[in-house]
Amino acid sequence: MPAPVTLAQIVSRLGGRVVGEAQTLIRQVGSLERAQPDQITFFASPRYKAMLVATRAGAVVLAAEAEALTARPRIVCENPYAYFARVSRILNPSDAPQPGIHPSAQVAASARVPASARIEAGAVIGGNAVLGERVWIGAGCVIEDGAAIDDDSRLYASVVVNRDCRIGARAILHSGVVIGADGFGVAPDSGRWIKVPQIGRVLIGDDVEIGANTTIDRGAIDDTVIEDGVKLDNQIQIGHNCRIGAHTAMAGFSGVAGSTDIGKHCTIGAAAVILGHLRLVDHVDVSAGTVISRSIHQAGTYTGMFPFDDNASWARNTAQVRRLSELARRLRDLEKEVLKGKKNG
């Protein structure tokens, strides 16, 4: 456990300013609701004002407009959540790999493994595979022939990186991730399916994190590309020949069909589905559960379990959908009145 830090020390490293006792000692982070006096929390939304008033935290990270809402020691900054994340990284640093190759690991003679790498029990490193400095390969991982993993990347237990795929620097791949399995390429022929060889690779940039049991298929011809800074949650499927733009984030259970190009700085909500051969421009936000069935050429938020639309139009249409039963009843009553009028006429 790292040594506790004062608010003054935090601000000296991360910026911002302290209001109140700058020597307040912080040992860990905590939530507004449950933080203890030796913990720091953050406040980023007015709806949690009551929790802020009641918190027992030793200090709070908040924005300037919320500075007067508490008398507790506080750090004032522009982006409280991001600042809190950086504080948590100070108090909870990542483990450094202890170099070495476990006796039960299998490392091909032609593989390039630096002395600073760690390879745990049962891992397999294939021929001509290349590991960078301080790469950490967890138990039971398989790195196939010709694959490459750059400096300071960590693969948790049971990750598979298939042949010739590339992982950038400082990547984090959680357990069960499969990089470079064959894409779903089959051609119909007289009632049968003919497998199309998948000869592309998967290329993953720097600072990418991929959640547990997520799968990214290799390209059929061209490469599947995950650009720098992309964050993928658990149990996501990325089809062959896709490109995910830099710093895009995707939540769990979302899926992208083959040959789709998603722009930079996009967000894809949980269980969203993006059909194949589409293009999403930069800064598109797809709400949870939405099915994207056509390309999106304008930045914005798109929502809907029934056919999606721009968010404002979707909200108006949804309001009408909620009134369908009432409108149907009124229509029936009107029809009765019309029929009654005809009989009386």
Note the pLDDT tens digit of each residue in 95-136: 888 999 999 999 999 999 999 999 999 999 999 999 999 999
Asked whether 267 and 247 are in contact (CB, 8 A), the reply is no
Candidates 240, 265, 283, 297; catalytic one: 240
Homologous superfamily of 5-91: MurE/MurF, N-terminal domain (3.40.1390.10)
Instruction: Give the C-alpha separation, 27 to 112, whole Å.
Output: 41
Backbone angles phi, psi at 204, to 5 degrees: -115, 130
Q: Tell me the pairing of strands 25-26 and 17-19.
A: unpaired
Average pLDDT, the chain: 95
| Other Cβ atoms closer than 10 A to 314 | 20
> pTM (2 decimals)?
0.86
Look up residue 306 and give its DSSP letter. S
* pLDDT at 306 > cutoff 80: no
pLDDT in tens, 129-170: 999 999 999 999 999 999 999 999 999 999 999 999 999 999
196-214 average pLDDT score: 97
* pLDDT at 317 > cutoff 90: no
Distances in Å between the Cα of 162 and the Cα atoms of 149, 167, 177 are: 12, 11, 11
* 297 among known catalytic residues: no
Candidates 173, 185, 258, 246; CA nearest to 214 is 173
Distances in Å between the Cα of 4 and the Cα atoms of 26, 87, 283 are: 5, 11, 39
| Other Cβ atoms closer than 10 A to 261 | 17
Classify domain 100-313 by CATH number: 2.160.10.10
**Domain coordinates in residue numbering, the chain:** 5-91, 100-313, 319-344
Q: Which residues on adjacent β-strands are paired with residue 302?
A: 286, 310
Tokens of 4: 């506790």
Q: What is the pLDDT of residue 345?
A: 65
pLDDT in tens, 231-289: 999 999 999 999 999 999 999 999 999 999 999 999 999 999 999 999 999 999 999 99
Amino acid 157 reads A
Q: What is the pLDDT of residue 107?
A: 98
Split at pLDDT 50, 70, 90, the class of 324 is confident
Distances in Å between the Cα of 146 and the Cα atoms of 165, 196, 345 are: 7, 22, 87
Return the residue matching tokens 């390879």: 119
